[in-house]
Structure formats: C-alpha cells, structure tokens
C-alpha cells in the first residue's frame, strides 16, 4: 500500500506539471498566433485582396497586374529593383567575404576592433547611410563643394553604395561564421598533395563556405529589394519597387496599384527565402566532429594585405558614421543640403518624366536639410534630422 | 628479417633520416632531439601514449609542422625547410580527411592534378589505384556515401596516386571499428610489401605496431625510448616504460644485493637476468611478463614463491590468474596460463599455488628516484 502510494505521488505531480506545461504552451501559441495574424497575416491578406480590386472596391481579377506590367514607367521599377539588388548583392558579398577572410584566416592585428567597426552600420537604417552619402557626395555635399567634382550620387550609384554599407554587417556575420568553421585536416591534406594556394582555395575554402555564401547572397538580396529608405533618400528619379508602392499609395492615393506592386515585390523576397530554406535543409555537416579547428597561417604578406584592406573598409564605415554624428551634433556648421535640394530640383525639372511624389510632399515648403521630397518620409528617425523642421 | 634492415639502409640513402629534431610549442617541449632513420622499403611504427610527440614527429616529416632544431633528410636530400609539396610523400590521416565535395575518383586524382599530370594519365592512374584498393565501382561516390573503411581506402589510394617515395600513416585505423580495422591492417601491410614503399605509421595501439611494423620506435615525452624489431621490443625492453607500454608486465620494487645478479624484494631474494652490475642497495624495478611465470613446477628450485589464487579471469586463448604471495612484501602477481595448463593445474580461487620466476626472465630496470 505504502509503496503504491509512493509510486503514484510523483506520478500525479508529474502529470500536473505536464498539464501546466500544456496550458502554457497553448496560451503562448495563441498569443503569438494572434500577434502574427494581426501584424503579418492580416495586413498581407488585405494587400492581396486590395490588389484584385479596382479603385471603387469592385473585384477586377488580375487587371491591376496587367496594368502594372503594361505601364512602362511602373514596370521599369521591377527591372530597376532586380538590377540594384543584384549589383548590391555581388558587391556586398564580395567585400564582406574578403573582410571576413581577413578576420578569420589571418593573424592580422586588431581583428577584434575591425569586427566591431564592421558592425556599426547595424545601428542605423539604410536611410541614414543614404543621408550621410548625400551629405558627402550630394550636389551641395561636403566633398562636392570642396573639390567641385559631382559624382552624381543620386540614382543607382547612391542606392547601391548605401545598400552596400547597410548590408555589409549582415553579410559579414554570416561569412565570418562560415569561414570560422574550417577543417584544418583538409588544408593539411591539400598541402601534402601539393596543391597550390589557388587550388586549395577553390577546392577546400570555397566548397567549405558554399552554404554561407549562398545564405549571405540571399539575405543581402532580400534586404536590398525590400528596402525603402535608401532608394527614397538617394535614389533621385530612379524608381524601385519599394518606392513605387509609396508613390502609388501616398503620391497618387492609388491603393490598389500600391497593393499590386507590394504583391509583386513579395515574389523575389519569398523566392529568395524559399531557396535559402531549401539550401539550409540540404546542408550536410561539412565540418565533422573529428575536425580540427584551423589555425590561421602566419604569412606576413597575407596579414599585411588583409590589414590594409580591412583598414580601408573600416575607414569608410567610420567616415560615414562620423558624418552622421557631426551632422546631428552641429547642424548649422554643415552645408545646408536644403539648398542642394532646390538646385537639384532645378536640375531634375529639366529632365522629362513625371515625379508623382513631388505633388504631394512638396506642397509644404520646409527648410529641411534633406531634399524636400524626403520630408514626406515618416520612416526617417528624429535623431538624424539635423534641423528643426 | 628486421636484422637485415640496417644493411639495406647502407646500400641506399635512407628514405627518411632525422637528426636531432626538436620541437617546442610555447613552453611545452614536444620533441627533444629525436634522431632515427627509416630504410627504403621499411615499415616503421611510431608507438607511444597520446601526447608523446609521435604525431608531431610525423607532421614534421610531412612538413606540416616546422621543427625548431634538427634536420630532416629524404633519400639523402635535406628537406628540412621545404614546403610539403616538395617532399614527395603520401599521407593518410586518422579521420580520412577526404574532400567532402569531391567524388572518390576526384579525391584520388587531387594530387596528380596538383602536379599537373596529363588528363588521360590521371584518369588511368585513378582507375589503377581504385582497383588496387578494391573500390573501382565506387569511383563516382562522394565520401559521405562511403563507409569508414572505404573512405580510408580512398584516402590510401589518394596518398599513393602520385607514386611517392614515402607513405605516412597518421593513426589510420583508430577511427574504424574492430573488424574493419583488422581487415585493413592486413591489407595495408600487403600493399606496402607489394609496392615496397617506405612507410611510417603513427599508432598508440601496441598490437597494431607489433603486427605491422618491421621496426618500432617507442616514444614517450618527446624522447625515443627504444627502437627495435617487434620481438625485440617485446622480449628485451630497455626501459620500464617500454616494458609496461608494450604488453603486460609484473613489476616488483626491489633493491640490489651484494651478490651480483640478485635483488631483494622485502624478505625474498630473487635471482635476476644478469645485467650490468649495480652497487648493492640500489633501488631497482624487476619485471616479468605474466606468461613467463611458471606454476606448480618443482624442477625449478630458484625464485620459488608460494601464493594464493585471488582471482581467475578467462580471456579466451589464455586465462589470467592473480596470485597473492604469502610474503606480504610481494605485490599481486598476474600469471597467464594456456587453457590446457590451467585445466591441468586444476586452479580454483582461494587455492594455494606454488610459483617460480625463471631467473633469465626477471628483467632489471633502473628505478627513477
């Protein structure tokens, strides 16, 4: 009897604990389910639904999509987005790969410092990088006024540059993780078999980071194609899909077309996500349990090269951040890009083509240091606005 | 067989000659002035416990690690400061280290491609080697699709493909399960004989070393303890470390007596194998292998001990009997008896058993003080 009671007691408490666990689990699932529905699924369904309605709320099927692809000015935003995303992806991943290689595979001094500096762009949205670029390279930017050279930052160049800056840490984090997990035995085997540096790189290093590289590519591509801030601030007349949605909805009050573009914009992002997911699932353990961690070699040449490279990249990142900081601290001492927006407006008014945004946002004259059309953007953070607006 | 090796070494420059190789990692001394030679066509095993420096020594020969002092010569050529690619050897690692992204055939071809061999020759040689290790049908499989034994055979083929003058094996069998290990042991040995390639194998498995090697280099704490043929290492260990590391050994702490060739363990005086004469009262260690102890015999009157059987362990081919000597100063003695000898003696736990330690089997080692 006693023994039986002793046996059932812990059994009962265990069952009670299980019950509590189940309740907590259900509550949490319900909570997060509701949150996800409210903030993700519901808006997305709304957007999907809107994209098949006309302006008066009648169901029109895929008519909006047809109109979208048939309007050259709007359809151009697709190719523009793809082009910008691809270029930014290639550049970012390439630059981040060399940087990550320096951090993980050489014994250059200051690796911890360089790693921290490279993370700086994470603390500001791409929009801020773009604003800093306008401060430096804009029509009335610091560099432009000092040297008289206008690099023409508004457009593809500016967007790509800003995106490279803001996506660099994302790519770097993935690539550092990928490059850190190296199997020294494979490098030993390659060396013993007499492989050259190039052959070792192609047959051991690259295959080892294949999945990391693909991940980095997809992450950067998705980040860039869905980014709104940088193209809005520095894109000038170059229209990408994210800004096109904004133009349609805010500029022209065309909610259905905005929704249509949104759905189209979703496609590359979803595709990138799916491919990444499939790749991750297929990834087998490249580094087995018996792997020996790789000790970076002590080649002086590699160390110096990577030190030089990392120093240049870090200098750019710090430079951009310094521009942001000084602009925030002493707005008056900086050249007022507000004037530049006017001069830019003059330039752009000479160019043909409609600028739908200007209609709505430039009605209000504002001494903002940003191009006037930027003041319509609600995404810009207060702290980065140097002037009272 | 093993005795002829030095003469062969005289005819041709040795495949490997090490002269005073020293290696330190920070404060840790991994190797302390190691000198040895490996003759052409010889199979040498570096045997030792983990951390004894045997793998470091192999990596120095391979050029994957650089020695702090000393020279490495291959076939008379000084390769001390040459990179691995200019040393002409093949190496097999403990855990295969096949390139996971390349097929078996591409793995085998790797070294040939690195040496810029013509594509047709490469393909021909790859087939030849996969045939040699019996994996021709597996040429298009990836390492992940091969078993451990198959992977190690591919690794062996990969090492041999560029026809090196030296084969290095870094614990090639320790990652495999027992049956595959025994099969591959014979296979590697036969292959080595057939190709007549000088081979160095690192192992911590004494059985592996005893069965495969022409000569064994026993190492401990970065120093070579003894170099010799397997039988010599087993029967004539020169140090207590070698005696205990290779095979089993009963160890008795003793002091030398004034009579030469005698030592005293507590109250018992034992006659030992004649060795260099030591002063009386020196602390020494006596060693005798379990299978060398005789039981119940009356014809040998020397070194007789009476003990009581404290445990009996059946180990298949033989039975290990632990005997507590009547004299408390003697330690527990392990005796290995063949199945028939065990049955004849009718040994049971707790019974009294007379033992004899044949004097020519009682080895004397210096005891570090």
ipTM: 0.79
Query: CB distance B85–A195 less than 8 Å?
Result: yes
Task: Choose the closest CB to B64 out of A192, A199, A291.
Answer: A192
Q: How far apart are CA B238 and CA B46, in angstroms?
A: 16
Which helix H or strand E contains B232, and what residues bound it?
helix B230-235
For residue A16, being part of any structural domain is answered with no
Closest by Cα among A381, A385, A383, A360 to A370: A385
Task: Convert the pLDDT of each residue in B113-131 to its tens digit.
Answer: 888 878 888 999 999 999 9
For residue A375, being part of any structural domain is answered with no
Please give the structure tokens belonging to residue B22. 């020293």
Number of domains in chain A: 1
For residue A307, being part of any structural domain is answered with yes
Residue B4 pLDDT exceeds 50: no
Q: First CA to last CA across chain B, in angstroms?
A: 38
For residue A148, being part of any structural domain is answered with yes
Q: How far apart are CA A335 and CA A337, in angstroms?
A: 6
Label the pairing between strands B16-25 and B69-74.
antiparallel
**Closest chain B C-alpha to A194 CA, distance in angstroms:** 4
For residue A349, being part of any structural domain is answered with no
Q: Residue B85: closest CA among chain A residues belongs to which residue?
A: A194
Q: Tokens 């199979």 — which residue? A: B43
Label the pairing between strands B304-314 and B318-325.
antiparallel
Task: Convert the pLDDT of each residue in B121-179 to its tens digit.
Answer: 899 999 999 998 888 899 899 998 898 889 999 999 999 999 899 999 998 888 888 88
- How many CB pairs lie under 8 A apart between chains A and B? 68
Query: CB distance B110–A190 less than 8 Å?
Result: yes
Q: How far apart are CA A363 and CA B171, in angstroms?
A: 79
Query: CB distance A204–B99 less than 8 Å?
Result: yes
Could you list the residue range(s) of the whole structural domain that residue A111 is in? 72-333
Query: CB distance A190–B113 less than 8 Å?
Result: no
Give me the helix-helix angle, A255-282 and A63-70, nearest 10°. Answer: 90
| Sheet strands side by side (includes B215-220) | B90-92, B166-170, B198-203, B43-47, B215-220, B223-228
Task: Choose the closest CB to B111 out of A185, A193, A291.
Answer: A193
CATH number of the domain that A285 lies in? 1.10.3720.10
For residue A42, being part of any structural domain is answered with no
For residue A374, being part of any structural domain is answered with no
Q: Residue A197: closest CA among chain B residues belongs to which residue?
A: B114
Query: CB distance A207–B111 less than 8 Å?
Result: no
Closest by Cα among B357, B328, B359, B331 to B262: B359
Task: Quote the pLDDT of residue B369.
Answer: 58
Which helix H or strand E contains A165, and what residues bound it?
helix A156-180
Label the pairing between strands B43-47 and B198-203.
parallel
For residue A163, being part of any structural domain is answered with yes
Q: Residue B96: closest CA among chain A residues belongs to which residue?
A: A185
What residues in A contact B99, CB-CB < 8 Å? 186, 189-190, 203-204, 207
The pLDDT tens digits along chain A (389 residues) read 444 444 555 667 777 777 888 999 999 999 999 999 999 899 888 888 888 888 787 888 888 888 888 888 778 888 899 999 999 999 999 999 999 999 988 888 888 999 999 998 888 888 888 888 888 888 888 888 888 888 788 888 899 999 999 999 999 999 999 888 888 888 989 999 988 888 999 998 998 888 889 889 988 998 998 888 889 888 888 888 888 888 888 888 888 888 888 888 888 778 877 887 887 776 554 555 556 667 776 677 888 888 999 999 999 988 888 888 887 665 544 444 444 444 444 444 334 434 443 333 333 333 334 443 333 333 333 333 333 33
Chain B residues with at least one Cβ partner in A under 8 Å: 62-64, 83-86, 89-91, 93-95, 97-102, 110-111, 113-115, 144, 158-159, 162, 175
């Amino acid at each position: 009897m006693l023994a039986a009671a002793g046996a059932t007691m812990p059994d009962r408490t265990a069952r009670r604990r299980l019950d509590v666990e189940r309740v907590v689990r259900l509550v949490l699932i319900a909570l997060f389910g509701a949150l996800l529905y409210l903030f993700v699924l519901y808006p997305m369904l709304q957007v999907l639904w809107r994209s098949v309605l006309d302006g008066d709320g009648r169901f029109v099927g895929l008519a909006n999509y047809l109109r979208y692809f048939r309007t050259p000015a709007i359809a151009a935003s697709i190719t523009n987005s793809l082009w910008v995303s691809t270029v930014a992806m290639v550049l970012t991943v390439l630059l981040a790969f060399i940087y990550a290689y320096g951090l993980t595979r050489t014994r250059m001094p200051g690796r911890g410092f360089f790693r921290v500096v490279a993370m700086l762009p994470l603390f500001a949205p791409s929009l801020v990088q773009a604003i800093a670029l306008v401060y430096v390279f804009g029509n009335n930017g610091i560099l432009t006024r000092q040297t008289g050279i206008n690099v023409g930052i508004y457009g593809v160049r500016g967007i790509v540059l800003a995106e490279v800056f803001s996506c660099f840490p994302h790519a770097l984090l993935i690539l550092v993780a990928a490059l850190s997990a190296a199997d020294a035995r494979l490098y030993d085997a390659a060396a013993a078999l007499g492989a050259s540096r190039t052959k070792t790189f192609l047959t051991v290093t690259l295959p080892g980071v294949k999945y990391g590289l693909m991940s980095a590519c997809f992450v950067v591509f998705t980040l860039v194609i869905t980014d709104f801030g940088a193209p809005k601030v520095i894109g000038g007349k170059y229209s990408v899909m994210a800004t096109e949605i904004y133009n349609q909805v805010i500029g022209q009050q065309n909610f259905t077309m905005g929704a249509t573009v949104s759905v189209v914009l979703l496609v590359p992002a979803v595709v990138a996500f799916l491919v990444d997911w499939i790749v991750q699932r297929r990834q087998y353990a490249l580094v087995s349990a018996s792997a020996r961690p790789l000790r970076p070699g002590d080649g002086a040449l590699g160390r110096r090269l990577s030190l030089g490279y990392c120093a240049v990249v870090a200098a750019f990142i710090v430079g951009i951040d310094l521009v942001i900081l000084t602009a925030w601290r002493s707005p008056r001492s900086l050249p007022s890009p507000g004037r530049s927006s006017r001069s830019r407006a003059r330039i752009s008014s000479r160019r043909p083509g409609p600028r739908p945004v200007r209609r709505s946002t430039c009605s209000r004259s504002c001494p903002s240091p940003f191009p006037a059309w930027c003041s319509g953007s609600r995404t810009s953070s207060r702290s980065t606005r140097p002037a009272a607006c | 067989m093993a005795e002829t090796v030095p003469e062969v070494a005289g005819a041709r420059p040795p495949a490997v000659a090490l002269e005073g190789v020293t290696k330190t990692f920070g404060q840790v001394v991994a190797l302390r002035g190691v000198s040895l030679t490996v003759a052409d066509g010889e199979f040498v095993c570096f045997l030792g416990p983990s951390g004894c420096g045997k793998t470091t020594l192999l990596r120095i020969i391979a050029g994957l690690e650089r020695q702090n002092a000393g020279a490495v010569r291959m076939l008379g050529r000084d390769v001390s400061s040459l990179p691995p690619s200019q040393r002409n050897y093949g190496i097999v690692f403990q855990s295969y280290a096949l390139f996971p992204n390349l097929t078996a055939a591409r793995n085998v071809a790797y070294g040939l491609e690195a040496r810029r061999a013509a594509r047709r020759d490469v393909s021909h040689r790859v087939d030849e080697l996969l045939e040699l290790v019996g994996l021709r049908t597996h040429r298009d499989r990836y390492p992940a699709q091969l078993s451990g034994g198959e992977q190690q055979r591919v690794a062996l083929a990969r090492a041999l493909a560029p026809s090196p003058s030296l084969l290095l094996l870094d614990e090639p069998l320790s990652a495999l399960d027992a049956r595959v290990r025994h099969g591959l042991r014979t296979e590697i040995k036969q292959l080595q004989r057939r190709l007549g390639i000088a081979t160095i194998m690192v192992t911590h498995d004494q059985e592996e070393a005893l069965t495969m090697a022409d000569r064994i280099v026993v190492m401990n704490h970065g120093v070579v303890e003894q170099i010799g043929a397997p039988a010599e290492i087993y029967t004539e260990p020169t140090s207590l470390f070698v005696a205990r590391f290779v095979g089993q050994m009963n160890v008795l702490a003793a002091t030398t007596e004034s009579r030469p060739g005698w030592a005293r363990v507590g109250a018992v005086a034992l006659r030992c194998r004649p060795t260099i004469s030591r002063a009386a009262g020196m602390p020494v260690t006596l060693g005798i292998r379990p299978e060398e102890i005789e039981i119940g015999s009356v014809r040998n009157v020397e070194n007789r001990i009476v003990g009581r059987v404290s445990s009996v362990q059946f180990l298949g081919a033989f039975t290990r009997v632990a005997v507590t000597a009547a004299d408390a100063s003697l330690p527990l003695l392990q005796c290995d008896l063949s199945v028939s000898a065990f049955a004849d003696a009718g040994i049971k736990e707790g019974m009294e058993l007379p033992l004899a330690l044949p004097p020519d089997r009682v080895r004397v080692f210096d005891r570090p003080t």
